[in-house]
């Protein structure tokens, strides 16, 4: 989740009035970034600035103001921070190929994805792996070149949004033992 959504979620969790300091602590972002996002939300008329009271002055720093805000329209703020679907991305094209091939022939392979969707083989492999881990597809046989894939259920033409973390894969790769390391006797 990006920082704009994090700040928006922190605002929605507050009831009534809130200050910039409360949002900074809840969202764990810098004051400057929080101030900029709150100014953007004010321009979009999602929140409004109620009061700008002066805080104590710290020697050597510019004065900091305690700004008090309130939410004007919670529904519009919720819509504003919600993730947006992009159309005609590589994943959309790959899902469309998967859905059509399964509907017509019952199975598909990596070559179909890379040629028909116009995706690189590495991207198509990553997408197949993510779909398999999410439980959307299963292989028809164990492994090897030319393995065929099938959908596990009836899905529509809109692609599923899967949460596949590359960080988890990197952690798994780092914890594998080294094969070239000599064993201590």
For residues 27-37, average pLDDT:
89
DSSP 62: -
pLDDT for position 49: 87
Burial tier of 7 (Cβ tally within 10 Å: 0-12, 13-18, 19+): buried
Residue 159 has pLDDT above 60, yes or no: yes
172 confidence band (pLDDT: 50, 70, 90): very low
Q: In this predicted model, what pLDDT tens digit does every residue of 98-156 receive, in sequence order?
A: 888 877 788 888 888 888 888 899 999 999 999 988 888 988 887 777 788 888 887 87
Domains, the chain, with CATH or none: 3-81 (1.10.10.10), 90-175 (1.10.10.10)
The secondary structure element, H or E, covering residue 52 is: strand 47-54
Least confident of 45-59, 107-121, 164-178: 164-178
89 confidence band (pLDDT: 50, 70, 90): confident
pLDDT for position 20: 87
End-to-end CA distance of the chain: 49
In the chain, pLDDT over 90 holds for what percent of residues?
11
pLDDT for position 55: 66
Three-class secondary structure of residue 140 per DSSP: coil
- Minimal CA–CA distance to 90: which of 130, 54, 60, 50? 130
Contacts of 45 (CB under 8 A, 6+ apart): 72, 73
Contacts of 105 (CB under 8 A, 6+ apart): none
């Amino acid at each position: 989740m990006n920082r704009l959504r994090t700040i928006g979620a922190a605002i929605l969790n507050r009831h009534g009035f809130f200050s910039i300091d409360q949002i900074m602590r809840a969202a764990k972002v810098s004051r400057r970034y929080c101030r900029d996002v709150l100014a953007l939300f004010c321009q979009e008329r999602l929140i409004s600035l109620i009061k700008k009271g002066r805080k104590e002055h710290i020697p050597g720093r510019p004065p900091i103001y305690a700004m008090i805000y309130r939410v004007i329209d919670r529904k519009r703020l919720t819509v504003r921070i919600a993730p947006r679907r992009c159309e005609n991305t590589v994943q959309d094209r790959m899902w469309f190929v998967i859905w059509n091939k399964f509907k017509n022939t019952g199975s598909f392979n990596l070559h179909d994805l890379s040629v028909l969707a116009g995706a690189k083989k590495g991207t198509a492999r990553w997408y197949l792996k993510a779909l398999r881990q999410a439980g959307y597809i299963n292989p028809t046989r164990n492994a090897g070149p030319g393995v065929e894939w099938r959908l596990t259920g009836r899905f529509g033409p809109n692609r599923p949004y899967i949460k596949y973390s590359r960080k988890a894969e990197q952690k798994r790769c780092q914890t594998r033992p080294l094969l070239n390391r000599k064993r201590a006797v």
